Amino acid sequence: MDAQSTTATHIVAQTVTQTTPQTTATAHPQAFTLDSGLVETVMTFVREFGFIVYVLLVLVVTVLVINWLFKQTVERVLKRIAPHIKPIHIGKLPVLNKRLEMSLISTGARLLRLAMIGVVAYFVLIASVAWFSWSPEFTRKFLDYLLKPVQSVLDGILAYIPNLFTIVVILFLTRYVLRFLRLFAQELERGVLKLPNFYPDWAMPTYRVVRFVVWIFTFAAVFPYLPGSNTPVFQGLSVVLGVLISFGSSSAITNIIAGLLTTYARPFKRGDRIKVGDVTGDVIEKTLLVTRLLTIKNEEITIPNATIISSNIVNYSALACEGKDGLIIHATITIGYNVLWQDVHGQLIAAALRTRDILPTPQPFVLQTSLNDWHVSYQINAYTKAIQRLPDIQSELLQHIQNTFNEAGIEIMSPQNLTVRDGNQSTIPAQYRVH
């Protein structure tokens, strides 16, 4: 038994001794193979990264070249075509002027340049990502992330084309309806067309009101065709905007209603000289919200229509039109009791007739407005249609009153008489005294 065990142990030892070198010999080539793969992987990554850097440099150079070419080309093209560009009109309505056309051409060139840069960048990006041999799945996902939104947008645009065409047709019809209404209103304003009980100065305000109503109906017709109009977010936003406009435009609506009242009640028109409260001036502009006056001191004053409709309005130009007697201007002086009232009347009328722009017919007249303690108040009244010269006429009238009374030897004064009845001379004119 011992001899057999010793023999078996010797055989096993020999077997282990013989197999150990083989195992060691085979282990060294495997370690060398792993080191070579790592080096190859690193070299591949370096080559791929270097390629990306190279491609990016090419992209930068390409973008710079595109920008330079477009700049040179656009400048030369604009210089050549500028003398040949003419404004575009539809009938008598100007649509595009020369400056706007040049701006549109420049904008189109910039958009084309950006589109070319985008296409080049797209292909460069695809090439750069696809160059990585170890990332095909990443490349596919990246392209999906990049292209799916674009495809979704394009699909939405293509699906929206029928609605867009409907909107274009509605806006086209609205535009030409408004053009027809504007031409009709202009003819009414010029007096070429006449409607019963319709004043020419109502034409353009009425057109503006009708235009606003037409645009409201147009918006109501277009709204269902807008993208996202049926979504809860869009509808909620519309409600919020409506509430904000309602609360924020209460004063504006008040002024608009007042503007409509002043338009159709016709208390004044553009060019009239009016007085609103303490402000006097010529009406230079009437809108639905405000009225602007130019005072004789060359001050432009803006008055809200709500203020005008709640104030007293004095229109100095209303009776100065054709077929009317004109506006009456007046001046008051006081003369003592010792001067005959007939002499005072004659001098005042003579002074009025000397004044430029005072009408001889109807004839000026004098009113004795009061018998005061020491003097009599005389008021000269005269007609004029030169409303724009009212301050000058008033000044000239006072000047001529001074001249005529000085020429007649009548003092313009208000004496105070202290009389002691002991034989002093009476202030009664001589022809009325009882001898």
Q: Is residue 324 helix, strand or coil?
A: coil
Place of tokens 């009406």: 283
Model-wide pTM > 0.85: no
Backbone phi, psi, residue 255, to 5°: -65, -35
> What local confidence, expressed as pLDDT, does residue 348 receive?
96
Rounded to an integer, what distance in angstroms lies between the CA atom of residue 311 and that of residue 308?
A: 5
pLDDT for 134: 53
Whether residue 307 is found in the same domain as residue 332: no
Classify each residue of 287-302 as buried b or exposed e, where b means 16 or more C-beta atoms within 10 Å of its C-beta.
ebbbbbbeeeeeeeee
* Rounded Cα gap, residues 315 and 305, in angstroms: 16
The reply to whether 100 falls in a domain is: yes
List the beta strands (DSSP E) in 265-422. Answer: 273-276, 279-286, 290-294, 300-304, 313-315, 327-336, 365-371, 375-384
Q: What is the pLDDT of residue 137?
A: 65
Find the helix packing angle between 136-190 and 98-130, rounded to 10°. 170
Beta 327-336 vs 375-384: how paired, if at all? Answer: antiparallel
Last residue of some domain: 112, 134, 156? 134
Q: Are residues 202 and 237 in the same domain?
A: yes
239 and 191 fall within a common domain: yes
337 in Cβ contact with 343 (< 8 Å): no
| 146 in any annotated domain | no
pLDDT along the chain (435 residues), means of 10: 44 43 44 58 72 79 86 83 76 70 83 84 70 61 73 81 89 92 89 85 88 91 82 77 74 84 86 90 90 92 91 86 81 90 94 93 94 91 91 94 92 68 62 60
Tell me, what's the pLDDT at 9?
A: 44
338 and 376 housed in the same domain: yes
pLDDT at 428: 64
Strands (E), 14-162: 88-90, 93-96
Residue 371 lies in a domain: yes
Query: What would the DSSP string read from start to end of 213-276?
Result: HHHHHHHHHHGGGSTTTTSHHHHHHHHHHHHHHHHHTHHHHHHHHHHHHHHHH-S--TT-EEEE
CATH of the domain at 305: 2.30.30.60
Model confidence over 251-270: pLDDT tens digits?
788 888 888 888 888 888 88
pLDDT of 37 reads 64
Distance CA 95, CA 174 (A): 16
CB-based contact 382:359 (threshold 8 Å) = yes
Residue 362 covered by a domain: yes
Residue 84 lies in a domain: yes
Q: Provide the pLDDT for residue 132.
A: 60
Whether residues 112 and 88 fall in one domain: yes
Q: Which amino acid is at 301?
A: I
Q: Please check whether residues 178 and 214 belong to one and the same domain.
A: yes
Q: Does residue 248 belong to any structural domain of this protein?
A: yes
Q: Give the end of a domain, one of 315, 345, 369.
A: 315
pLDDT of residue 232: 80
CATH label of the domain that carries residue 358? 3.30.70.100
The count of structural domains within the chain is 4
What is the rounded CA–CA span in Å between residue 85 and residue 64? Answer: 30
385 belongs to a structural domain: yes
State the alpha helices, DSSP H only, in 282-327. 305-309
Whether residue 228 contacts residue 234, with contact meaning beta carbons closer than 8 Å, is answered with yes
| Boundary residue ending a domain (114, 134, 154) | 134
**What pLDDT is recorded for position 346?**
95
65 with 104, same domain? yes
Q: What is the domain extent for residue 111? A: 44-134
333 lies in the same domain as 355? yes
294 lies in the same domain as 354? no
Domain contains 403: yes
